[in-house]
Structure 1
């Protein structure tokens, strides 16, 4: 096999989060990757001359997993069995990020329904805003860090197609590869983390809350133990897999009439900087009455940041929404944002970034 081959011993665990501290602090191994971030189920460690893949749940123990680019094994996964019965999986070393086909659904997630907060990566608390994740095509998380101060994070990156961080409450300091020193996101600010850009969360205020969008829903977080941030060179125009880093601040907002009647929109420039992979708008109440509309976007997600409204959808009972609630509108479903309060403010994320809103 080639020199790029990596082998991992696969073991099972019933308490992955508890085992992370054991393997890193007690055994002195380094964590190399973890996923998913909101509720970790798999973590990979390296040390003492071996790599260990720890998976939560039941399954065959003592399995060997080999990642290689060796043409002998082709481009897909190969399953082998040793004479003594040991199972061996051989996979391509660099698995591509594949976007699942969207399973469209009308989804409403209310904060008042008290969905559980789950402790995820780096001790952050996650609340799932799209429980079925539209067939694995997207994950939307409401993330909070209850106590402010330094965040126990490391330099890492995500094998992802698109990722948004929108600061909802408080502030957070983050540092990014090739983007200079630490960046402070205040409430209303946002960044996109292009695929595989190295970064690290440094510090947060008390009560910090962010909305994080990831596409696809399941993607791997990998630790980079070799890179130190900040990097020595400033490259603000660098492109990662067709996407540029975006830091959009609310204080510089320019508001224009939205395609949605009765609202104005702040364009975060994310559509332009991702080649229309995704679009992110902040909407707020304006003049005029909201009307019935429908859209042709593949994914159309909205989070209520402030105020109240009644979401009306064809063939569905009206739902009263307030701050902290979220919803997904599938393509061609007629909806209306009825009875909006004067302070209604919405975060809208769509894939693709450019789509058409039809009246009626």
Structure 2
């Protein structure tokens, strides 16, 4: 380890900078464009009697303009707080040397695409490929098509126990859930105290842009991760060190607060579907109503009435909902999912499904050990019994 640290130190002492080389056919014209239009400054130019090379810097970038260079001119993106204030409001330009210039917003607002509703079923036994993602973790997509980009649901696993090669980072999201399905994982979050173990059945939400890091995992760790929207930016924070030494559970991140739910503290109450009971995670309140997360399990008929007081047979109850997104992951057991104008789907642990709004469904042939993870957006919606 010491040898590695010495190499890193020597490399940092040795490297003095980095340049991107761009070709130039007319150095005078290119200098005028990059300096006057884009705001770069000249650091070097040579030879003095007939300049063919100039080094410019600005906006965190060093450019080497070189006549006769063989590289293609490429594309340069200028990140602005207000793109309209640069280059007369133009957002796409071409430099004299052919370099394409894109002037874009540095921190664009989060955009969540409208949901493209669909009745979806994803089975574990269908052998959906696992792909290697960030920090070497294995990902399996649980929502094909991602409802038009409005949501991503991933079954994530880390096969081997030990440290995870993660770094401090954050996500620009509208909602993000981490639910421990199998095993346990050690996590640390900004201003939420020391690292802790997230055990099977526990979950956390990661509010927008909260700094965090995955530290280590048990063997065959499996988690369910939900993110809104599907395509969101992960940013590495090279400055913040975790833990921060601060405990501020009420700190607000992007309108949400950190929420950690532990299975050992669960309180089970009758669920929205007859024949089930559920544990509330507190995520609806922490997100300000953006999303709710509940775990439901069969009660063998002990609670045989819906939440609106209408009596119904749990095994045959037909319902629909008024929410936007209703995602369910089968944690344990087996169940038959019957959907309006759909074939019956026999589901088991590891399977997932999405029910569109106003679509009639029922859950039948339920095993006694059936347990479901349900994620709803928004948190509040109506369940209609038909």
Please state if 1:172 is matched with 2:198. Answer: no
Shift of 1:201: 0.2
SS class of match (1:135): helix
- Indicate the residue corresponding to 2:266 in structure 1: 253
Alignment of 1:131-146 (within 5 A): 131-146=144-159
C-alpha distance 204-72 of structure 1, shift in aligned 2 (>3 A): same
CA drift of 1:83 comes to 2.4
Per the TM alignment, residue 234 of structure 1 is displaced from its structure 2 partner at its CA by 1.2
Residue number among 333, 339, 358 corresponding to 1:307 in the alignment? 333
Match of residue 68 from structure 1: 80
CA distance in 2, matches of 1:194, 1:164: 9
Unaligned runs of 5+ in 1: 1-23, 30-48, 53-59
**Residues 106-164 of structure 1, C-alpha deviation per residue, up to 9 Å, x if partnerless?**
00000000000000000000000001000000000000001110000000000111000
1:77-120: CA deviation from partner (whole Å, max 9, x where unpaired) = 82111123211111111111111100000000000000000000
Counterparts of 1:341 and 1:224, CA distance in 2: 46
Is there any run of 5+ residues in structure 2 with no aligned partner, and where? 1-7, 16-59, 64-71, 305-313
CA apart distance, 1:333: 0.3
Q: Does structure 1 residue 204 correspond to structure 2 residue 217?
A: yes
By how many angstroms is 1:51 displaced? 8.8
Instruction: Write the distance in 1 (CA, Å) between the matches of 2:371 and 2:228.
Output: 24
1:260: how far off? Answer: 1.1
Matching residue of 1:331: 357
1:297·1:352 contact (CA, 8 Å) conserved in 2?
A: yes
Q: Which has the larger radius of gyration?
A: 2
Q: 1:120 to 1:265 in 2, by over 3 A?
A: same
Secondary structure at the aligned position of 1:175 is classed as strand
Once the 2 structures are TM-superposed, how far is the Cα of residue 185 of structure 1 from its aligned partner?
A: 0.6
Q: Contact (CA 8 Å) 1:77, 1:91: kept in 2 or not?
A: no
Deviations 1:214-265 (A, max 9, x none): 0000001000000011102211110111111001000111011111111111
Residue 73 of structure 1: how far off its partner (Å): 4.1
Aligned with 2:373: secondary structure?
Answer: strand
Instruction: Report the TM-score, using the length of structure 2 for normalisation.
Output: 0.77
The yes-or-no answer on 1:79 pairing with 2:92 is: yes
Runs of 4+ in 1 over 6 A off after TM superposition: none
Residue 115 of structure 1 aligns to a residue in which SS?
coil
User: Per the alignment, in what secondary structure is the counterpart of residue 330 of structure 1?
Assistant: coil
Deviation at 1:72, TM superposition (A): 1.1
**Matched ranges for 1:1-360 at <5 A:** 50=61, 62-70=74-82, 71-73=84-86, 78-286=91-299, 287=301, 288=304, 289-290=314-315, 291-360=317-386
Q: In structure 1, what is the Cα distance between the partners aligned to 2:378 and 2:91?
A: 35
> What is the CA–CA distance in structure 1 between the aligned matches of 2:148 and 2:97, rounded to whole Å?
38
Query: In 2, Cα distance between the equivalents of 1:195 and 1:261?
Result: 35
Q: Distance in 2 between matches of 1:199 and 1:334?
A: 40
Q: Distance in 1 between matches of 2:123 and 2:221?
A: 20
CA contact (8 A) 1:305 1:344 kept: yes
Structure with more relative contact order (C-alpha pairs < 8 Å, separation 6 or more): 1
**In 1: Cα distance, 2:168 partner to 2:76 partner:** 28
Over residues 145-204 of structure 1, what are the superposed CA-to-partner deviations in whole Å (9 max), with x where a residue is unaligned?
011100000000001110000000000000000001001111000000000000000000
User: In 2, are the aligned partners of 1:77 and 1:92 still within 8 Å (CA)?
Assistant: no
| Equivalent-residue separation in structure 2 for 1:152 and 1:318 (angstroms) | 42
CA RMSD of aligned residues (A): 2.1
Bigger Cα displacement from structure 2, 119-128 vs 255-264: 255-264
Instruction: Report the counterpart of residue 66 of structure 2 in structure 1.
Output: none
> How many residue pairs end up in the alignment?
309
Corresponding residue SS for 1:321: strand
